[in-house]
Amino acid sequence: MKKTLSILFSAAFVAMLLVGCEEDEEPIKNYYELDGVEYAIDSSMFWYQSGMGGDPYIRLITAVDGQDNPDLIKLYPNKGLNELPGTYTWAAKPAMGAAEAGTYDVGYTADYAGMAYEWTAVGKDGSTDLTITETETGIYHVEGTMTLSVGSYDYSTGVFTETGTKSLMLDYTGAITPL
C-alpha cells in the first residue's frame, strides 16, 4: 500500500512539473528594425518634456554597437483626454497647434548626442498604426511599422528637407516612465 501511494504521489508530482513547463512564457524580446537590420532595445521608454515647450512625448534611447552615441526614437501619440493604450493612426505632427486625438507622429535620430547626430528623420505617409496595449499595470506593449523621411532641418526656418526614406519596425514591452 505504501509503495502504491508513493508511486501515485511520484506520478502526480511529475505530471505537475510537466504541466508547469508548458505554461512557461517565452522571454520578451524588445527590438526595433531599421531597414531590416535588427537592434536590441536595452532601455525603457519614458515620457519627456522639452525645456523649449511643446507637448510631452515618449522617448526611447538605446545603444547601438559600433556607435559612440545611442539612437533616439521619439513617439508623439496624441491621446487626447483618453488613457495611453489605444490604436493611433499616423499623421504628420503639425508645426503649430495640436494634432488630432488618436493620431501619432514619430522621429528618429541616429548617433544622438544632443544637437549633434549622424542623421535624423520624421514620420511619413505609409506608416502603419501604432498600437499601445497595457499588458499589466504599468507595462505596455508598443508596436508599429513606420516610414521615415530622412533628411535635415534648417533650424533658422524650421523647414525639413528629405534626402531619402527608411523603414522602422518597433516591438517594445515594458514600462513607460511618467514625467
Q: Does the pLDDT value for residue 117 go beyond 90?
A: yes
Q: Give the predicted TM-score (pTM) of the model.
A: 0.82
In a domain, 154, yes or no: yes
pLDDT of residue 118: 94
Distance of CA 101 to the CA centre of its chain: 19
Domain assignment present for 8: no
Rounded-to-integer distance, Cα 71 and Cα 21, Å? 38
Residue found under cell 549622424: 118
* DSSP assignment of 67-127: -SS-EEEEEEE--TTS-S-EEEEE-PPPSSSPPPTTEEEEEEEET-BTTB-SEEEEEETT-
Tens digit of each residue's pLDDT (9 = 90 or more) over 90-105 = 998 776 667 889 999 9
* Average of per-residue pLDDT values in the chain: 87
Residue 11 lies in a domain: no
- In this structure, is residue 123 part of a structural domain? yes
What integer pLDDT is reported at residue 15 of this predicted model?
44
Tens digits of residue pLDDT in 118-170: 999 999 999 999 999 999 999 999 999 999 999 998 888 888 899 999 999 99
12 falls within a domain? no
pLDDT at residue number 159: 87
Angle CA(119)–CA(140)–CA(22) in degrees, nearest 5? 120
Q: Find the domain containing 94 and state its range.
A: 30-177
Q: Domains in the chain: how many in total?
A: 1
Q: Dump pLDDT digits (tens) for 18-36.
A: 445 455 667 788 999 999 9
